[in-house]
Copies of this chain bind each other. A is one copy, B any other.
Amino acid sequence: MTDSMTETQATTVKVGLQDRGYDIVIGDGLLATTGARLNKLLPGVRTAIVTDENVAALHLETLRHGLSEAGIDSTVFAVAAGEASKSFETLQQTVDAILATRLERGDVVLALGGGVVGDLAGFAAGIVRRGMNFVQVPTSLLAQVDSSVGGKTGINVAQGKNLVGVFHQPKLVLADTKVLDTLPLREFRAGYAEMAKYGLIDQPDFFAWLEANWRAIFSGGPERIEAVARSCKAKADVVARDEREAGDRALLNLGHTFGHALEAATGYDGRRLVHGEGVSIGMAMAHRFSVRLNQCSMDDADRLESHLKAVGLPHRMADIPGELPMPEALLDYIMQDKKVTRGTLTFILTRGIGKSYIAKDVAASEVLTFLNESRSQ
């Protein structure tokens, strides 16, 4: 477990948020160096590690060994793996566990895990003593390129996902690309969808680079590190421009309006559809919908679908196993999505690969017609 003490390569991306700015460090074998890096950034701190049982079994020993070598005390609170841990109940347990350690405001809550652990631990860190220091050590590709960057935290409630939470920026994000080797292929692909999203939003060159290099990214090595770093940079730039999603940050929701509706429609059953797969289908649908609205060329929509197919990602509603609700019901899920502003339907549309934009007045009837067409494909 502790054989990766020496980094092969590390890249740093800076998130520019003035006094809340921080570094995202990306590279193979970073996990073991967490202690040393923490000591440098926040001398004398103690840490409360929040993780899940699966990740703990794989990576906790390496992390704690490094912390201990750096003289940093740590406690561990492990939640059950899976989305169900993003609940009020688990939040309260996590808060209690952090308070039980008697850590102070300046000490660190450290999230070791994927998006669920990061969102939960970040929320807890954001509310214990009205905000403790927070460090993200994301272990899934999705968390490394998306959820660990930008300060969004939260839990799910009966009314919907991520409806309760805070913006709480981490002090440091350490993305160890080596730990991605332990991910199941399906989960890696799901994270890859968010990576491709950054190309689709406003970086056509990055998308072309992904088309050429995706095999190397899947198999590990310098291309993977570069892909994670470019993704983090893309997200960091958007976050720096619009920390609290008053404007531009909404572009990051490309593919998410359809995607969230499909996740809801499948009852968040990860056997049928995981988040990144929903985003993959959602991005393809956003391009098709843009074609329908005469915004995007058919060629660009086809090009995206070809790439998603090549990497093994779903791109149509029909790719989801089992029955889906009728289009009217899907539209209802879309209307309930939290990105609805004052009753008008906001969508991320596109004028082609790398040319996404925010459309604020999309008619519900257009969406419904499109859903009806998509269903029969």
Known contacts A342-B44, A342-B106, A95 near B164 by CB under 8 Å: yes
Q: Which of B104, B123, B159, B341 is within 8 Å of A100, CB to CB?
A: B159
CA distance A90 to B303 in the complex (A): 51
Is the Cβ of A152 less than 8 Å from the Cβ of B164?
Answer: no
Question: Contact: A154 with B130, CB < 8 Å?
Answer: yes
Size bin of chain A's contact surface: 20 to 34
Instruction: Report Cα–Cα, A154/B95, bound state, in Å.
Output: 13
Asked whether B166 lies within 8 Å of A130 as measured between CB atoms, the reply is yes
Contact status B131-A342, CB under 8 Å: no
Quote the shortest CB–CB distance from A328 to chain B (angstroms). 19
> B96 to A167, Cβ gap below 8 A?
no
A235 to B281, CA, bound (A): 52
**Separation of A100 and B160 alpha carbons in the complex (Å):** 11
Quickly give the copy total for this chain: 2
Interface string of A68-96 (1 = CB under 8 A from B): 00000000000000000000100010011
Assess whether B129 is in contact with A338, with CB atoms less than 8 Å apart: yes
Q: Is A165 positioned at the interface, with any CB of B under 8 Å from its CB?
A: yes
Q: A130-B152, A166-B126, A342-B44 are in contact. Are A88 and B99 (CB under 8 A)?
A: no
What sequence of 0s and 1s flags, for each residue 8-27 of chain A, a beta carbon within 8 Å of any chain B beta carbon? 00000000000000000000
CB neighbours of A165 from chain B (8 A) = 127, 130
> Once the chains are docked, how many angstroms separate the CA of A256 from the CA of B346?
48
Determine the residue in chain B with the shortest Cβ distance to A123: B127
Whether B163 contacts A129 by the Cβ 8 Å rule is yes
B340 near A167 (CB under 8 angstroms)?
no
Pick the residue among B131, B152, B164 that contacts A128 (CB under 8 A): B164
- A128: chain B residues at CB < 8 Å are 163-164
Chain B residues contacting A158 (CB-CB under 8 Å) are 96
On chain B, the residues within 8 Å of A183 by CB distance are none
Decide if A157 is an interface residue (CB 8 Å cutoff). yes
A99–B157 contact, CB under 8 A?
Answer: yes
Cβ-defined contact, A166 with B342, below 8 A: no
What are 30 A-B pairs at a CB distance below 8 A? A44-B342, A88-B88, A88-B92, A95-B157, A95-B164, A96-B158, A96-B159, A99-B157, A99-B159, A99-B164, A100-B159, A104-B341, A104-B342, A105-B338, A123-B127, A127-B127, A127-B164, A127-B165, A127-B166, A128-B164, A129-B163, A129-B164, A129-B338, A130-B153, A130-B165, A130-B166, A130-B167, A130-B244, A131-B167, A131-B244
Top 3 closest pairs, chain A to chain B, by CB? A99-B159, A130-B165, A88-B92
Given A126-B166, A127-B166, A128-B164, 19 further pairs, Cβ under 8 A: A88-B88, A88-B92, A95-B164, A96-B158, A99-B157, A99-B159, A104-B342, A105-B338, A105-B341, A106-B341, A127-B127, A128-B163, A129-B163, A129-B338, A130-B165, A130-B167, A131-B166, A131-B244, A166-B166
